[in-house]
Structures are given as structure tokens and as C-alpha cells.
Chain A
Amino acid sequence: MDIVVSVKTNLDLQMIRIKNREPVLEAIPYKTGDLDKNAVEAALQLRDAVGESKVIVLTVAESNRKVRETIKEVLAMGADEAVLIVDPALESTDQAGVARTLAAALQKIGSYDLVLFGEGSSDDYSGQVGPRVAELLGVPQIGYARQITAGGAGVLVERSMDEYIETLEAPLPAVLTVVSEINEPRIPSLMNIMKAGKKPTEEWSLADLGLDPAAVASSCETLSNLAEEQDRKHIMLEGGAAEQAAGLVNALLKEGIVGR
């Protein structure tokens, strides 16, 4: 069973600070998507359970440097090969563009039985890319997988819905997105990290996939990306302690913070 896992590299959101209501993005380290690591772990477990399988990690980025650490990390976890789609045109793409790129890459890879995604990325969390890729490839898709077992016609998948668990069966090839509860991603050992650099890694441009930069251009334009402005109420309470306390209670009641 050949399993392809799509992984995304994003900025470490915890390191971003806001200045003049805009995010300061300079010198922010990159991070592998949290749920993407769950997807990699799921693929590794499936590979080891089924045998005769390999795990290919697939990523897209505008520069090689951006994804270098991420690819090293997931290869160190145990993935067998990596395919990087690197093209400057991917700097200003959107979910649709990424999905087109991934679908074209999967067609070039040719043989795959399962394509795994995290249910959403750690930054945008749109949850669109997995389903879009399935649609472009014309294969079945199951979202929110909390357990994946090879068997039946292909795979048996437990889906984590809010109030219940749904069990579905799908023929292969299929696209699955996973939720965090599916597993605990392994932490690679130092030696595995050292060896990760020597695993087979392919790097393709958009042209290698027969894609025009226009095909990945974002259809949306960001007009403004400002942090919410928090303004204080500037209410000064006068008088003695009892008077101030009464004033505070009144103010809180008026705001609906207490006494609802």
C-alpha cells in the first residue's frame, strides 16, 4: 500500500507579535503543521501494519529553505521518501492553487493507494485542501478520521463527528483527513534525524508538473489584515469604597457581564 501524506509548513504562530495592528513576520521560525504530524503517524502505523508499503511525504512551498526542516522532521519520524514542489509562484497561492498543485503532483507520482491530510492547517485551518484534492482526482474522500484500518474493499475509517462516531468503508485510492485524537505523533531520535537527510527526496517545479503559474495564482486579494483593536472603557469610579463598588456592579450589569 503506497501512502502519500501531504504536510504543510507554517510560521510558528506563537512567535508572532502584533505591531501597529499588523503581524510582525520577520525572523519567525517555521513549524510543521500539528495535524500533519498526526497524518504522518497514521501513515507510518498503517504501513507497518500492512507491510509491503511505503510512505511518501509531499509538500509545496515557495522556497526550499522554508520546508527543509519540516521534511527532515517527517522523514526522521519514519517516512520513506519526500517529494517537494518548490516554485516562487507558490508564494501568493491559495487553497485552490495548493490543491491543483498537489493533485498534479499525485498524478505525476502515479501510484498511490491513500492520500492523507490533517483535517486543517495550523495557520489558516480552512480544511479545504484535502477535499479539493479528492475532487480534482475524482476519488472518494473521508474527513475527520479517528481510526484507519486496512480491510474490506479498501479502508475502514471511523469518523469523529461531534456527537457520534461514523464508520465508513472506501475503495482505494482514497483521500482521508485525520483529527488529532487519531494518535500521538512519535518524536524522532537524533540518529533518525541524522539519517533523514539521506533519504530519497525529489524536487519538482510547477513546470515539471505541467502547471502554469497562473493556475496557482490566488483568486482572492488581501485588502487588510489587521488585529482587532482593543479599546478600554475609560470609566472612572468616584467616591468611597462602597460607592465605587456599587458603581462597579452597575457597570458590570450594564455590560451584561454579571447578572444575566
Chain B
Amino acid sequence: MLNKSYKNSASLALLPAHGVPPSCANPAIKIADLTVAFGGVPVLHGVDLIVGKGEAVGVVGESGCGKSVTWRAVLDLLPRSAEVSGEAWLGDFDLVGARSSVLDRVRGGRIAMIFQDPAGALNPVHRIGAQIAEALRLHRGLTGPAARAETRRLLDQVGIADAASRVNAYPHELSGGQNQRVMIAIALAGRPELLVADEPTTALDATVQAQILLLLKKIQQDTGMALVMISHDLAAVAAICDRVCVMYAGRIVEAGSTHTLLTAPEHPYTRDLIGAIPPSCGPRIRLTAIAGAPPQRHLPPGCAYSPRCRDAVAACAVARPQARQVSAGHSVHCLKAAAER
């Protein structure tokens, strides 16, 4: 199932064709100027993001930077107190403000989502086979033998050995990694165009983390589904995504192909995030510790990162940097990066 033939994204990114922004003419989802506020306090300040069909995009940043809120806002999964505005185009209709009857067909059908805690997302009193069959009935109208056959096929696809007997297991009889595989099977039941994985492996052990990430990558490549992976671990995201968006304080501050972002990061925040990860080979160097914490409630007037940025100059605290194209598909919001050219 998981074999050496995997090409991870960083090596794929070395291919020349990969620097070009992928299929933006043919997006799976196009988010434009999405803002979210809770009780008048804005938490998302205009996110623009396009995920191409069949593309794997990573979203990284610290806790509270708006990674999860972005996707929960798109799927209308936020509490009712949230004020959402902007656009999220799935094909030719806008999900923001759409009626819940319309969204019910999108959620789990065209866009599926998996979460960090699979045991919490599964129903503990139902067998996993029944939970997958429920998704098949809701999204594809399958019942009876057809649903049972498809359930077994899905369990095979997500790498659960002995699927025929495992359909009768309850979530507590499975390990965390197997439960996450079941969650992925349920997500795949509706044949989604887009799968949003929110910290899918944070709660899992190291060897299982690699298995699940590579499984997601394999499914994305096999089915042509688009994949969005949300994580605070840039290394895990970079391992399976073609493109990475770095979020800070409710905005995307840098976006580009994985290879570009890792080898030539322009935003100081991206550089600091890379420096904060203990390297897995080579000499042990001192880690980059980003002083302070992301701003809460009120943003500084200029660049939101300027109070923590080691490269900040006076101008950074005054004017908010606009997006600048460094190269095709690589954009950055930083005054300094713009000035250096």
C-alpha cells in the first residue's frame, strides 16, 4: 500500500512544470476576501485562496492564525455568532450565505472534512461499517448489498486489513490510526472533489503519522481529489503538499510552491517557522524561537507580524504590506521583501 514509489511533493516540486501555479483556471474552490468576526472582533481579515482541481495545498501557521476558521467558515461550521462575509466559489455557486439545504449536499458530498480527534468524531455506539454506510446512503443513495460492497472497498482503500470482519467493529476496538482511516473512508464515501484535513495526524504516533499522511497523498493522486491539509507542522505539510500557504493573524502572508517556500522563503514569518523545526539531519543548530505570541483581538496598524519580526523597520509598523508577486505562483506580504528587490 505504501511503497517507495511515492514521490513526495518536495521532489516533485523540482520538476520545472511545478513552479507554475497549478490549474488556477480550473479551481476546485476559489475563496475571495473571506472575513470572519466573532462578536465584532475580526479574526479573519480577507483571505484569498484558490485550490486547483486535484491539487494538494497546505495551510500552516501557529494556533489562532485562522487556519481552521477559514475552512469552517466556508462550510458554515462556525457557531451562529460568527459573522462571515466574502465569497467561496465551488464551481459556479457561492457557499458563503448559501441556504443550509444547499450546504447539506455540499458538506460530506462535494467537500469532506476530517479532524484531529477521530475517536471524538465517530459515534461510539455504532459499528464502523454502519457509519460508513450511512455516509454512502446520504451522499450517493446506496443501500443494501451495494452499500456493503462499497463499504468494504472503502476500508480496503484506506488500508484497513481484513475489511470484511472490521466492518463490525466499534470505534473503541480500533486504534487511533485505524479510527483516522475510518474517518477518511467516511470522508471518501461521498466522492468529494475536495478533502479538508484539519491536523489529521497531530494526535497520532510517529510511524502512524507517516502512514496516514502518505495514505492521504496516495488517495489524492489516485482519485484526482483536491486536498487541503491544515497543520502547525510545516515539515508534515511540506511532505505531502504541492503548494503551501502560510497564515498569520487571519491573513495569508506567503503562498507558493512547496519547493520555493522551503528553499527561498521571502516572509520572515515563514523563515522563522522553518527555523523553529528541529532539523532531522545535519548539525544541531539553535532553533529559531519566535518571541511573543500572535496578536489577539486587535492587530497592530502596520504589518501584523512586525512586533515579533527580527527584520522589522519603522515603516513596518505603519503601513500594511500589499501582496507582491515574487515569481509565478509565489506571493508575499512583506515590505522588506518588496524593498530588497
- Chain A bound to chain B: no
Using a CB–CB distance below 8 Å, which chain B residues touch chain A?
A: none
